[in-house]
Amino acid sequence: MQARDQIKVLQDAQRDTVRLNPDDNVVIALRDLTAGEHPDCLSAPLLGAVSRGHKIATTLIAQGENVIRYGQVIGQAKSDIVPGEHVHVHNLGMGDHQQDYAHATANAPLPEIHNARSFQGYHRSDGKIGTRNYIGILTTVNCSGSVARFIAEAAEKSGLLSSFPNVDGIVPIVHGTGCGMAAKDEGYETLYRTLAGYAQHPNFAGILLIGLGCEVMQVADLVGGRPIRPDGALRYMTIQNEGGTRRTIERGLEELRGIAELANQATRATAPVSALTVGMQCGGSDGYSGITANPALGYASDLLVRHGGTTILSETSEIYGAEHLLTRRAETPEVGEKLIERVQWWEDYTARNGGEMDNNPSPGNKRGGLTTILEKSLGAVAKGGTAPLRDVYKFAERIDKNGFVFMDSPGFDPCSVTGQVASGANLIVFTTGRGSVSGYQPTPCIKLATNSEMYARMADDMDLNCGDIVTDGVSIEAKGEELFEILIRVASGEQTKSEELGFGGVEFVPWQIGAVM
């Protein structure tokens, strides 16, 4: 079910419950309901209390019969479920996962918007546009992480940036890998793409690359004997060659000053909205995610695509069960097949590592009303709007097409966002129902609350409340347009809540694939 199908349903919804599709045999509670209450949509009173965001059966669902939400199968009844009964983990399970992919059968292009909007961004020498103007200290290996932080701390204490007002800050990018790994395998290639993507990211005006010297992920391999930034704002060194920690810090400060002089020359200038690439994420999801924030983001995604921009959907393990909705929207059958190849890779990946694709939803998701990965995925896919799926990319692979695309990643949010940023996302939008807190330097992150109660409780962390789609009857179209305006303002320099709070120091999480040796 797409966002536009939900708009009228939500506008006409009762305040107690909402049915998201005429074919559904469950409704969603819009407030905490008590045993014995009798909402008009039910043929019998509630058998027990049901929390908001949770499901209620509207008809008899026999054991083994499909439970339907969004007009799609979200699992099978583990026992007979009677009208008015709470539908959740005690009586709903996930059966066999089989879908009709129908590649490229519903890929109608969206109408272009010709009075294109603009924002104020940083124009880089390679033609990319940044939404921030940071300097990055990028590490090849865990062993150089502390020294990178020491250099950043020394720069702050010395007031190095006080003479460079156009520089937004210094960001140490540290991680826990880069050695103890094979030098020629999928894990190495994934880390290489990630580090190279950050080194070339348009939100960095310059990069200081630091290695230890003896690690598997060599500085020389990343640099390859040539600047990996066409503007030349790349300096690199190894701790072993510099003669240890103190000398590396001293040299690092010298190099940072040179980079800052270059970075300070950058100023914001008018850029087309088509230069925006938005990574779309959801975390701490609840029963409202698929009916408020996610479809609102989907509507904003369509608006951006219509302006020529790019949006990235990810978290392959969390589209599982809804991938058939994306393959239908694939621009070509080959694009649809690329997505299914990634899904099949994940089925093998989880099996050989003793996991399973239905390891979701998390305990917090379940408290919020989600029961199976099929249900969670159907809500998550709503972030992608209705635009055709133009291509499918590997984790951290450079996005080279405008429009709506998919990037393979785990469902672990910091890791998934790391891949999206490496792929070129200069904005992140993150929807949450339980209240996720995080930020992703150098890319600003806009947080969307799925429900008004959490928004009121955590307003210091949330940038936009989408719960008023339910509480106040705001349309998904209006909320999507409101979000689109926020995208433009944040791209032009307005700080998000996570930026104000200083997030971004621990959220660089490369995807570690393969054996640790």
For 341-361, write each residue's pLDDT tens digit: 999 999 999 999 888 777 668
- Residues 75-103: b if buried by 16+ CB within 10 A, e if exposed: bbbeeebebbbbbbeebbbbeeeebebeb
What 3-state DSSP class applies to 403?
strand
Residues 6+ apart with CB under 8 A from 349: none
The dihedral region occupied by 177, where left means phi > 0, alpha psi between -120 and 50, and beta the remainder, is beta
pLDDT at res. 207 = 96
Q: Strands 129-130 and 389-393: what pairing? A: unpaired
What 3-state DSSP class applies to 55?
strand
**For residues 55 and 68, what is the distance between their CA atoms, to the nearest angstrom?**
10
**For residues 24 and 171, what is the distance between their CA atoms, to the nearest angstrom?**
48
Percent of the chain beyond pLDDT 90?
86
Contact 355, 413 (CB under 8 A): no
Q: Strands 134-139 and 169-173: what pairing? A: parallel
Percent of the chain beyond pLDDT 70?
95
Extended strands (E) in 174-249: 204-211, 234-238
pLDDT at res. 174 = 97
pLDDT at res. 10 = 52
pLDDT at res. 354 = 87
User: In degrees, to the nearest 5, what angle opens at C-alpha 3 toward C-alphas 93 and 112?
Assistant: 145
Encode pLDDT of 382-407 as tens digits. 999 999 999 999 999 999 999 999 99
User: In degrees, to the nearest 5, what angle opens at C-alpha 338 toward C-alphas 337 and 344?
Assistant: 85
Which sign does the torsion angle of CA 178, 184, 187, 192 carry?
positive
Q: Is the pLDDT of residue 7 over 60?
A: no
Q: Strands 129-130 and 118-123: what pairing? A: antiparallel
Query: Which class is domain 134-263?
Result: alpha beta
**For residues 516 and 511, what is the distance between their CA atoms, to the nearest angstrom?**
13
**Among 386, 293, 280, CA closest to 4:** 386
- Give CA 190 to chain center in angstroms: 18
Average pLDDT over residues 239-264: 97
Q: pTM score, two decimals?
A: 0.94
pLDDT at res. 115 = 85
Q: Which CATH architecture has domain 3-93?
A: Roll (2.30)
Contact 326, 339 (CB under 8 A): yes
pLDDT at res. 232 = 65
